[in-house]
Amino acid sequence: MANATLLLPARSRFSAAALPDDAARALGRAQHHVREPGEAAQLQRHFTVAPAGEMPAAALTRQLDAGDAQGHLWLRADPAHVVPDMHGARMMGHGDTLRPGHDDVVALLPALQPLFADHGLVLDAPVASRWYLQVPADMPLPRFASPEDVLGDDLFSHLPSGGEGRRWRALLTETQVVLHTHPWNAERIAAGSSPINSLWFWGAGALPATVTTPHAQVRSRDALLRALAQAAGVQIDGEQTVDALVDLRQLRSLEQLGRDAITPLLAALQRGELRQLVLDFEDGTQFVFMRSQRWSFWKKPRQLHDERSSAG
């Protein structure tokens, strides 16, 4: 028998609609745990990276995209769309959300590469939505915020701080000047697309020595999850016949979650095809379902947004 773990967004991303009756009854009987919230903590529940530290997303996805991450220090420098407001500026899109293509890379990268080369940095883009900086091994790096933390928020409150951050704040400003005046962005606007008028630096680090996971399979379109699965040497996608981590963080419909994910998996659990089902939410909430819980018939049904004390 296999296990299934659903990787889900924070419960607040779903409306306060009701789950199907069978899902609500099962949720009331499930084990409820409260873990550390946040995207990074959620990933670290399922992948152990050594040496320990912040997730080196750039090196991991670089290895997935180009296979040449080993032996270098990497930083993501993803295309971004920034909108000025009364208090500064806000990032309103980045990476895949801007739908950059090969033509964007061909047009914009040559204008930016000399700027970074002057600082000993190599900028390239093996994938149109994921741009990379190869960083000298002896260059100290500040802490960078992930784009998910910055999206929609005040850009300047997330810029790297301190003396080590000064270089990167200046580089970001110079980058924005080059992109703001580049004629290619006028063509993007004319075509109905948001301009690529900034980059966002994040995910610094070198390729980990090891990545391990308790899962035998990862099912996801997300580049970082696929990169972690590749580094751990586990199956990516394919038919779900083994212990699987299934990425559903893009879901926003509670009806769809109940109808298309929870209900059929609960049926598989009752048939004995699954040993365990885990719902893991980005806000740190976890529910664990097991077949034996069907005997806990005295427990009341529960809705996803109900707040009760943790069972462990």
Tell me the DSSP string of 181-242: T-HHHHHHHHTT-----EEEEEEEEEPPSEEE-S-SEEE---HHHHHHHHHHT-EESS---S
236 with 190, same domain: the answer is: no
Q: Which two tokens stand for residue 97?
A: 């959300």
Q: Is residue 217 domain-shared with residue 286, that is, in the same domain?
A: yes
**pLDDT for residue 145:** 94
State whether 242 and 130 are in the same domain: no
Q: Which of 258, 262, 263, 247 is nearest to 215 (CA)?
A: 247
Among 206, 222, 249, residue at a domain's last position = 206
Do 66 and 47 touch, CB atoms closer than 8 A?
Answer: no
Q: Are residues 62 and 202 in the same domain?
A: yes
Residue 239 lies in a domain: yes
How far apart are the C-alpha atoms of 189 and 199, rounded to whole Å? 17
Q: What residues contact 13, with CB distance under 8 A and at least 6 apart?
A: 251, 252
Q: Are residues 179 and 280 in the same domain?
A: no
Helix and strand element counts for the chain (H, E): 10, 14
Whether 199 and 175 have beta carbons less than 8 Å apart is answered as yes
Residue with tokens 């016949």: 241
Considering the entire predicted model, what is its pTM? Answer: 0.90
**Mean pLDDT, the chain, integer:** 91
Rounded to an integer, what distance in angstroms lies between the CA atom of residue 62 and that of residue 164?
24
* Structural domain range at position 39: 2-49+212-295
Over the stretch 159-199, which tens digit does the pLDDT of each residue have?
A: 998 888 999 999 999 999 999 999 999 999 999 999 999 99
Domain boundary among 186, 206, 226: 206
In a domain, 306, yes or no: no
Q: In whole angstroms, what is the distance from residue 108 CA to residue 76 CA?
A: 16
Collapsing DSSP states into helix, strand and coil, what is residue 80? strand
One domain for residues 104 and 22: no
Collapsed DSSP state (helix, strand, coil) of residue 118: coil
Looking at the structure, do residues 202 and 264 belong to the same domain, yes or no?
A: no
Instruction: Please give the helix or strand (H or E) that residue 77 lies within, else none.
Output: strand 73-85
How many CB atoms are located within 10 Å of the residue 117 CB? 11
Cα separations in angstroms, 12 against 8, 95, 283, 297: 11, 24, 8, 28
Whether residue 200 is found in the same domain as residue 217: no
Single out the residue in 190, 206, 222 at which a domain terminates. Answer: 206
Q: 312 in a domain, yes or no?
A: no
Same domain, 130 and 66: yes
Give how far Cα 299 sits from Cα of 9, 11, 20, 27, 303, Å. 26, 22, 16, 10, 13
Low-confidence spans in the chain with pLDDT less than 70: 1, 293-299, 308-312
Domain count, the chain: 2
302 found inside a domain: no
pLDDT at residue number 306: 74
Q: Both 61 and 79 in a single domain? A: yes
Do 163 and 96 fall into the same domain?
Answer: yes
Picking from 112, 85, 108, the residue whose alpha carbon sits closest to that of residue 171 is 112
Domain-located, residue 309: no
Please report the pLDDT score of residue 213 as a whole number: 96
Q: What is the largest CA-CA distance in the chain?
A: 69
Total residue count of the chain as it appears in this document: 312
- Residue 297: its pLDDT value, please? 53
Answer yes or no: do 120 and 195 share one domain: yes
Residue 31 covered by a domain: yes
Q: Check residue 296 and give its pLDDT.
A: 53
